[in-house]
Amino acid sequence: MSDIFFQEMEIPRPDYNLGIAGGTHGEMTGRMLIEIEKVLLAETPDALLVYGDTNSTLAAALAAVKLMIPVLHVEAGNRLGTNDNPEEINRICTDHCSRMLFAATESCMENLRKENLAAKAHLVGNIMYDSFLHFANQPWEHPNILDFDGNRVSVPKEYYFMTCHRQKNTGSDEALTEIFSAMDSLDAPTIYAVHPRNHARALRLRERHGFKNIILTQPVGYSDSVHLTQHAKKSLPTPADCSAKHSMPVCSACSLWIMVWPETMVDNRNQLARPDKNDILKKLSAEQHIDPPTSRSATATRRKNLRYSAGDKAMKYALIGCGMICANHIRAALETGLEIVALCDLVEENREKALAMLPEEKRSGVKLYADYRAMLSEQRPAHGGRSRQWHQAADRLRLSRGRDERDRGKSRSRSRWRTPTR
């Protein structure tokens, strides 16, 4: 299922493919732990960046921390409040193994504070929303939505979209029948992108009960998923899919069973529903309040944050990472009045594209860097000197404790994070 994501999102092919699939949670995690450790020993990285809450996230975190390699966790602090969910265990263990935690929302930060992890936590925003905005603005010219036989599915003018794959919703005939019964009674067809392990059950129940208003499809690619969500009347995501994209004005959603993103649970934009026909229909019919699209845009959010950071002083702005969503950052910085002085990215083409996004009169003073260390050594805040906040930002980027003179002589508990020499 991963191949289509590399292609659609223009992600470089991985240097290592472990080829691990199937088996129990313990089997998968154990096999990944063994193989990831081999990669880490061969590469000796300064740090390991992990995302989300999958078994591979936990396996990578355990492998790295036992080799004294700092772990950096993106989407830290998400909590369901129940250990019945396997991903909950992955989240908690990874957060407590990590050297730095990057939280998407204030509620995630609060969860980390409750677990005494606030000292290493940073509120960085929701990268899933950034990605959604990027792909939602791309033309949807060639949908690739296939049925179980590989035939292309024609998307109706009006439809509902469902991504239901959690065990509580699909692990029994009773639960999935209730969900199907609710969706079959709606005023438009439901497109259901079915996880491979649930193909047989979904097909059998649709045929047994004669559900003719449900369109079963193979898993869809990211771009198709974004556009199906964007254009649907309403969507029914499982909790992990219930991110900021499901509270956009174009789409209201009904999340099944448990809550992961409380920020989306406002104005009936997202609601929790049991796998029960009556409860699902009740939540889907609830009246909603929809804000204008601009008030929920990522650019508007960044503009507010940047203005707050700038205060009444003109501040310099350096962008590290000039990939697919840097246009939002650049636009927000320009609209806020910040002076962009540096663009840093390992890929020269990305640096040049980011520079081209700037007005012509603002390009001459912008320096391009391939190495963030060089950028940090040259660039300074506009008000002169190196502020405490600037030092803290530099510390977060240097990562390796052995490189920072101000950390030398600290306690043994900190020196143990020093990474192996290449």
Distance CA 292, CA 249 (A): 7
The active-site residue, picked from 165, 227, 246, 329, is 165
Asked if residues 25 and 55 have their Cβ atoms less than 8 Å apart, the reply is yes
Nearest Cα residue to 75 out of 125, 132, 135, 134? 125
Encoded tokens for 131: 């990605």
Q: Is 372 left (phi over 0), alpha (psi -120 to 50) or beta?
A: alpha
165 is catalytic: yes
SS3 of the chain: the string is CCHHHHHHCCCCCCCCCCCCCCCCHHHHHHHHHHHHHHHHHHHCCCCEEEECCCHHHHHHHHHHHHCCCCEEEEEECCCCCCCCCHHHHHHHHHHHHCCEEEECCHHHHHHHHHCCCHHHEEECCCHHHHHHHHHHCCCCCCCCCECCCCCECCCCCCCEEEECCCHHHHCCHHHHHHHHHHHHCCCCCEEEECCHHHHHHHHHHHHHHCCCCEEEECCCCHHHHHHHHHHCCEEEECHHHCCHHHHCCCCEEEEECCCCCHHHCCCCCEEEECCCHHHHHHHHCCCCCCCCHHHHCHHHHHHHHHHHHHCCCCCEEEEECCCCCHHHHHHHHHHHCCEEEEEECCCHHHHHHHHHCCCHHHCCCCEEECCHHHHHHHCCCCCCCCCHHHHHHHHHHHCCHHHCHHHCCCCHHHHCCCCCCC
- What single letter denotes the amino acid at residue 368? L
Residues 6+ apart with CB under 8 A from 37: 63, 66, 67
User: Annotated catalytic sites, by residue?
Assistant: 165
